[in-house]
Chains A and B, each alone.
Chain A
Amino acid sequence: MDLLRFLPLMLEGAWVTAQITALALLLALVMGFTAALMRLSRYRLLRGVATVYVEVFRGTSALVQLFWMFYVLPHFGVNIDPFMVGWVALGLNIGAYGAEVIRGAIQAVPKGQYEATIAVNMTRWQAMYRVIIPQAIPNMIPPWGNLSIELLKATSLVSLITIADLTFRARQLNDRTFETVEIFTLVLLMYLAMALVITAGMRLLEHYTSRGLGRGGI
């Protein structure tokens, strides 16, 4: 059957998609936490920088950001390989959305918890990483799950900057074999499978991180 003939190239593409998703997600987490904490900072400058980052990356389209890094950065003598442009651009984009999720989750921790950390004379950093953030994390996991799916879907854009991801392979195989229906159906199903894996992973993570916080039923 033809589908079996396509499979090796498609799996290669799916592996590239998975790598870009994972790297971009890591970058997004770092950027998201940094920007969220900066937006909650006492210092106006830090708040301002983080706000500009969040608004610019949420306000301009992901594809425009990708093309900007791909076509414009070389003009400044910055030559990054397309693969890195791909995950960096998507990581920065999703990180901007993630920052708002994290900020929301941190602000949703009851005010009494902050007051208690002051009462026991914790520093602001201690309060954040020992009391506030551990309680905020279970709240951020469901929206981060959605963002991860958005990210997975957005990785298809990297096919437009010459990276051989799953979508790129689909177009390549389609141009060569014209087995259009089979190829695109199979690719959509492969994306669905990856999305289901992410959803399942996030459920586990939510269960794991909310242990010992006295949430939900027994």
Chain B
Amino acid sequence: MNIWDWEFAWRIMPLLLDAVVITVYATVLGFAFAAVFGLVLALMRRSHRPWISLPTVAFVEFVRSTPLLVQIYFLYFVLPEFGVLMPAIVAGILGLGLHFSTYCSEVYRAGLDGVPRGQWEAAVSLNMSRYRTYRDIVIPQAIPPVVPALGNYLVGMIKETPLLSSIAVVEVMQQAKIIGSETFRYIEPITLVGAFFLVVSLVAMMGIRRTEAWLRQKVLGSH
């Protein structure tokens, strides 16, 4: 048996690419959820009411300190006990989204803290409500500087999607394992999956660096 069989690698490529669609789908939906819910968490954490901010802090710390894999199991096995039934892919996307929303909330927190105090004072002097201050003044200034940091977590999330294979979602890792168990050749499918993640992360990292440079230029240009 030769070490690397190009013909076999070529033959399994369409199967793997089909599964890549599921990986991308889970990442896009999961990250959309994380980006939105993360902002909600960051704002709740800043609330002046301790019964909102304290549970938020506890939730963020708890989710960040426990493994995503167990959280996915929790959603997949525990929620049905309470009558919430969902397909594995939904549990997986929800798990990814919740886990990364806590990371995103820390990113947003840094962004919100970075808005100069004078902006708040100006909003107060114009008699703007707290809601309007956030919506029109603070959030639009807080988000652009943290886009690269969010991008890092997007890349981080893509690399966590193989965990969905543990609840039998046929994303690219699970597909590779299925191919391996049917053909007894693991080297090509698993190496190809690794190469896929490597290419995606390197390209994404380049994109993030570009965005960072562009943002820096934009900020410098506007002053």
Q: Residue A196 at the B interface, CB < 8 A?
A: yes
Contact A58 B74 (CB under 8 A): no
Q: For residue B204, give the distance in angstroms from its CB to the closest CB of chain A.
A: 10
Give the size range of A's interface with the partner: 35 or more
A64-B162, A170-B73 in contact; A181/B202 too (CB < 8 A)? no
- Beta-carbon contacts of A33-64 to B below 8 Å, as 1s and 0s? 00000000000000000000001101111111
Q: Residue B78 at the A interface, CB < 8 A?
A: yes
Q: How far is the CA of A156 from the CA of B72 in the complex (A)?
A: 12
Contact among B69, B77, B159, B165 for A174, CB-based, below 8 A:
B77
Q: Residue B67 at the A interface, CB < 8 A?
A: yes
A59-B197, A71-B186, A180-B78 in contact; A149/B191 too (CB < 8 A)? no
Q: How far is the CA of A55 from the CA of B155 in the complex (A)?
A: 13
Within 8 A of A (CB), among B129-181: 158-163, 165-166, 173, 176-177, 180
Q: How far is the CA of A168 from the CA of B81 in the complex (A)?
A: 20
Q: How far is the CA of A143 from the CA of B14 in the complex (A)?
A: 40
Residues of A within 8 A of B71 (CB): 188
Contact among B65, B195, B202 for A149, CB-based, below 8 A:
B65
Closest residue of chain B to A69 (Cβ to Cβ) is B190
Q: How far is the CA of A155 from the CA of B67 in the complex (A)?
A: 8
A61-B160, A61-B197 in contact; A156/B67 too (CB < 8 A)? yes
Contact A60 B198 (CB under 8 A): yes
Q: For residue B189, give the distance in angstroms from its CB to the closest CB of chain A.
A: 9
Contact among B70, B176, B193 for A167, CB-based, below 8 A:
B70
A-B contact count (CB 8 A): 110
Contact among A64, A184, A192 for B74, CB-based, below 8 A:
A184
Q: How far is the CA of A122 from the CA of B68 in the complex (A)?
A: 48
Contact B198 A156 (CB under 8 A): no
Q: For residue A132, give the distance in angstroms from its CB to the closest CB of chain B.
A: 27
Size of interface on B: residues with Cβ below 8 Å to A = 39
Q: Residue A101 at the B interface, CB < 8 A?
A: no
Residues of B within 8 A of A60 (CB): 159, 194-195, 197-198, 201
Chain B interface (Cβ < 8 Å from any Cβ of A): 1, 3, 62, 64-71, 73-74, 77-78, 81, 158-163, 165-166, 173, 176-177, 180, 186-187, 190-191, 193-195, 197-198, 201-202
> What are 26 A-B contacts with C-beta separation under 8 Å?
A56-B198, A59-B202, A60-B194, A61-B158, A63-B163, A63-B165, A65-B194, A67-B190, A68-B191, A71-B177, A71-B180, A72-B190, A156-B68, A156-B70, A157-B69, A167-B67, A167-B69, A180-B78, A180-B81, A181-B81, A184-B70, A185-B74, A187-B70, A191-B67, A192-B62, A195-B66
Chain A interface (Cβ < 8 Å from any Cβ of B): 55-56, 58-65, 67-68, 71-72, 75-76, 149, 152-157, 159-160, 167, 170-171, 174, 180-181, 184-185, 187-188, 191-192, 195-196
19 further contact pairs, Cβ within 8 A, besides A68-B194, A195-B65: A55-B198, A58-B201, A59-B197, A60-B159, A60-B198, A61-B160, A61-B194, A63-B162, A63-B163, A64-B190, A64-B193, A71-B177, A71-B190, A75-B3, A152-B67, A157-B69, A159-B69, A174-B73, A191-B70
